[in-house]
Chains A and B, each alone.
Chain A
Amino acid sequence: MSARKRTLLKVIILGDSGVGKTSLMNQYVNKKFSNQYKATIGADFLTKEVQVEDRLVTMQIWDTAGQERFQSLGVAFYRGADCCVLVYDVNVMKSFDNLENWRDEFLIQASPSDPDNFPFVVLGNKVDVDGGNSRVVSEKKAKAWCAAKGDIPYFETSAKEDFNVDVAFQVIAKNALKNETEEEIYVPDTIDVNSSRPQKASGCEC
């Protein structure tokens, strides 16, 4: 008996291939990091239970493949997402430029009921690389973009160093919960036997 209500959040991670989506997820869920790059095929799924304030939340994390050939996953895949995490590599300008495309693509495919207020979170990953010397996207630039898109929360992360990862995911969970629609009380119809009944004849027709 589930006396206490547990919430399940569907979180989708999007971003160019190689920006570190899988590494972020692995760091967050398994506390592991590998330098070896292994492309995600299609999608990976991980679950993690977290406590957000007084609520027990299960995060169902959909780690998608960044390669374009997997973009056919489409509508059904994005359907019913509670939060979307956009990831880019602070050392690769193109991955930042593409955030716009990823966001648009998500909004088109998932078509959330209130697109303007749909919870996104942006992560600028790999801030550890070369001591920050190779970075090409400044924090300021990234924050400006996030602000322009309706104040998307922004975090600079390093999956390798486990920098800011937990904090970022905590905000992801929190924002997804905030966006939870007011649940209406479920009141289905009752049959009115005195009016015309839409019932089917079942069994045999004799």
Chain B
Amino acid sequence: MDNKAIQDLQRDSEVVDEEGEQSHYSSDEVHAYSVDEAVGASNLDMEADNGAKLSDLVISDNTEEESTYDLSKESAFQGILEEGGSSIDGRILDEGHQDDIAAVPTSSNNTTPASTESGTLVSDVLDGDASLDDSIHEGPASPSSSDEGTSGYLAGSGSSSASICSASGADESVDGVLIQESNRPARRTWVPGKRHPEEDDTSLSWRKHKKHFFILSYAGKPIYSRYGDEHKLAGFSATLQAIMSFVENSGDTVRFVKAGDHQIVFLVKGPLYLVAISATEEPEQVIRWQLELLHAQLVLILTMGVEKCFVKNSKFDMRPLLGGTDMVFSHLIHGFSWNPATFLRAYTCLPLPHVIRQSTGAALQDMPNSGALFSILMSGSKVINLMSPRKSSLSPDDILLLCNYVSSSDSFRSAESFFPVCLPGYNPTAFLYAYVQYLNDDTCLFLLTADPDGFFQLKEYRGRIETLLRETNVLAEVTNAVRLGGLRVEQLPQPKASTSSQDSKTSSIFGSDSDHELHGSAGVTRQGVAGTGGPAGLWHFIYRSSFLDQFVASEFSPPLHIPSAQKRLYRAYQKSYSSMHGDGAGGPYKMQYRRNEHHVLLSWRTSDFELYAAFDPLADKSSAVAVCNRVCQWLRGLESEIFLLGATPFSW
């Protein structure tokens, strides 16, 4: 469907609105501005100093189904959508689901791999209750799919299988679970180790988890499961393999199955199968990318060479090779719901005064013959500085995965470590060797070499770096910066009548040059509480620089201090990112304005940057756009503190 058609449909959906149900739309609107479609309905000129300009924007009402806590409204809402086919299409446009539909080989609605004690390869067909999405999926069946065969399976349903999906009538309660679950304190409280190892597919609690991840071999042997014991789940794993191999037999690959509230996303990587079963309403593309990362994490541990084991011996059991790495995967999966690096394909830096960052660069660079391919100084998941003496490129995903590997285990904290590791983006077929040591609680040094005997050399190198960093007081500065945290929306400068541009150039989150007080409480409260609250209340933002492959996200402040609210916003960002990049239909977009009962989300993409900003649900469009411009201006002035400039390995 081309954009024009979609726009038409959206206009149709507005007509549907006027026929009576307008109120249902008012709280859930999405304004999508297509890149190449520019019909003037409302003119909003947005100009930032980078020259990005948005004009002649199409504003089309659309719907976004995000949360369903209001039962009555939600069902009425679905009613409209089912009535007016055009509005359903409009919705797909923004949900980015268009592709999913074509990619569903098993087109029958509500199929789910039933898993019982006997894990029968039979899918339950739930009667009625065709939810919104299912009614969409019924339409265009994939021509090459194995419909007939699958329905042969379905016909036999009747085993005692309690299906893992719930009927769509249970939407609200499921959402309640989401909120509860996400009330778990996020981030720092991640506990290493296997979750619920006692569970298997017969446990009710196992079925209730919102998001499962599985890795299995193409023979159906389990390799990893997020929840439960892999061996006890051998039957379930066999079921997954049977589904995949059934489709494979017809020369096709199953990519995606929608079953009630659950999405099942499949990814085939040579002899390895990765599967996610999710009730989180994340777009398929987002989940698929998470599976890609999971696979890359596995490659980081073992290299792609592991595939050879399967060529030689299809029975190959990979689990022993991965012994003790459960926590690496579960830590990564945990990161999927709080770390923007997992979907932005960018890394973030610890905000530091420019001079301090320069000192760290000098320290890392001072070693001409160390044999190191990369030296990275990290603080948690944030980069302090990185160098590549050999001018090799290091991808943001490699940084993410390497950092995840190290932070998933506390054993790295207590000793210097030297271990083989593969950087999938650099060379997925071979090992490098990583020397890792924490210099203090907040700072960790990574040195990577190709020399398996490089330990002593790197150890010496580390000693010299550490001395330099201590001498220049950098470590203390880092600790201070960690304590100060990142950008806060409260710091956003107030718009000034005339002299704004000069001011922003010299601003600093660590204090301006005139009062060279780099730290202390002054930095945080300096700018007052401009910009938050009220109709233009900015709550949070993520800014991604396209040239640097770096992003910066503001700290969460009230009302986003609750983990569940953060998770919800984070998922909304993921969805927007996916939609802005044209995964699915309709995109890519230049700008989107989405409103629901929780927030307004403004997404803005230019050739230089992407900005995702969350506002109070009452924020109106023009003031939100104005605030976004101010944010960009502000960040431009802070570039040297929040980004690693110049030394980026991608420009070598």
A residues sitting closer than 8 Å to B (CB atoms) are 1-2, 5-8, 10, 30, 39, 41-47, 49, 58, 60, 62, 69, 72-77, 79-82, 113, 180-181, 183, 186, 188-193, 197-204, 206
Contact = CB atoms under 8 A, between A and B. Distances in A.
A45 B121 contact: yes
B427 A60 contact: no
Contacts of B613: none
Given A79-B218, A113-B313, A199 B249 contact: no
Nearest to B115: A45
Given A41-B153, A113-B313, A202 B393 contact: yes
Contacts of B323: 1-2
A69 B433 CA distance: 53
A47 B234 contact: yes
Nearest to B316: A80
B528 interface: no
Contacts of B218: 76, 79-80
A74 B221 contact: no
**Which of A39, A113, A204 counts the most chain B CB atoms within 10 A?**
A204
B118 A44 contact: yes
B217 A80 contact: yes
B303 interface: yes
Nearest to A76: B245
A80 B302 contact: no
Nearest to B200: A47
Chain A facing B: main interface SS: loop
Interface residues of B, number: 76
B478 interface: no
Contacts of A202: 393-395, 398, 425-426, 650
B236 to A, nearest CB: 8
Interface string B517-547: 0000000000000000000000000000011
A5 B321 CA distance: 10
Given A41-B121, A41-B122, A198-B429, A72 B149 contact: yes
Nearest to B246: A73
Contacts of A75: 245, 249
B294 to A, nearest CB: 19
Contacts of B222: 8
B361 interface: no
Contacts of B221: 8, 10, 60, 80
A186 B306 contact: yes
B253 to A, nearest CB: 11
24 contacts: A2-B319, A7-B317, A8-B221, A8-B317, A44-B118, A45-B118, A45-B236, A60-B238, A62-B220, A62-B238, A69-B152, A72-B249, A76-B248, A76-B249, A79-B220, A79-B245, A181-B313, A186-B305, A188-B305, A188-B420, A191-B450, A199-B427, A202-B398, A202-B425
Contacts of B157: 41
B578 interface: no
A60 B234 contact: yes
B112 interface: no
A13 to B, nearest CB: 12
B156 A76 contact: no
A43 B242 contact: yes
Given A79-B245, A191-B427, A42 B153 contact: yes
B263 to A, nearest CB: 22
Given A44-B118, A46-B119, A186-B321, 18 more contacts: A39-B156, A41-B120, A41-B153, A41-B156, A45-B121, A45-B234, A47-B231, A60-B234, A60-B237, A74-B249, A76-B218, A77-B245, A81-B219, A189-B429, A190-B432, A198-B427, A199-B426, A202-B395
Nearest to A199: B427
A202 B394 CA distance: 7
A104 B363 CA distance: 67
- 3 shortest A-B CB distances, which residue pairs? A80-B219, A76-B245, A41-B156
A69 B155 CA distance: 13
B305 A189 contact: yes
A84 to B, nearest CB: 12
A183 B549 CA distance: 42
Interface of B: 117-122, 149, 152-153, 155-157, 217-222, 231-239, 241-242, 244-246, 248-249, 302-303, 305-306, 309, 312-317, 319-321, 323-324, 373, 390, 392-396, 398, 420, 422, 425-427, 429-433, 450, 452, 546-547, 549, 649-651
A201 B393 contact: yes
Nearest to B449: A193
Contact of A189 (B118, B235, B239, B431): B431
Nearest to B156: A41
A39 to B, nearest CB: 8
Contacts of B220: 10, 60, 62, 79-80
B61 to A, nearest CB: 36
Contacts of A203: 393, 395-396, 549, 649-650
Question: Which residue, B118, B157, B303, has most C-beta atoms of chain A within 10 A?
Answer: B118
Contacts of A30: 117
Contacts of A6: 231, 319
A200 B425 contact: yes
B450 A204 contact: no
Contacts of A180: 315
B245 A10 contact: no
Contact of B450 (A46, A80, A192): A192
B119 A193 contact: no
Given A191-B430, A203-B650, A186 B425 contact: no
Contacts of B152: 69
Nearest to B346: A203
Contact of A42 (B242, B319, B390): B242
B119 A44 contact: yes
Nearest to B238: A45
A80 B651 CA distance: 46
A12 to B, nearest CB: 10
B303 A189 contact: yes
Contacts of B396: 203
A77 B395 CA distance: 37
Nearest to A110: B314
Nearest to B239: A45
A127 B389 CA distance: 75
A145 B381 CA distance: 64
B192 to A, nearest CB: 11
B242 A73 contact: yes
Nearest to A61: B235
A1 B237 CA distance: 21
Nearest to B242: A43
A45 to B, nearest CB: 4
Contacts of A82: 315
B599 to A, nearest CB: 31
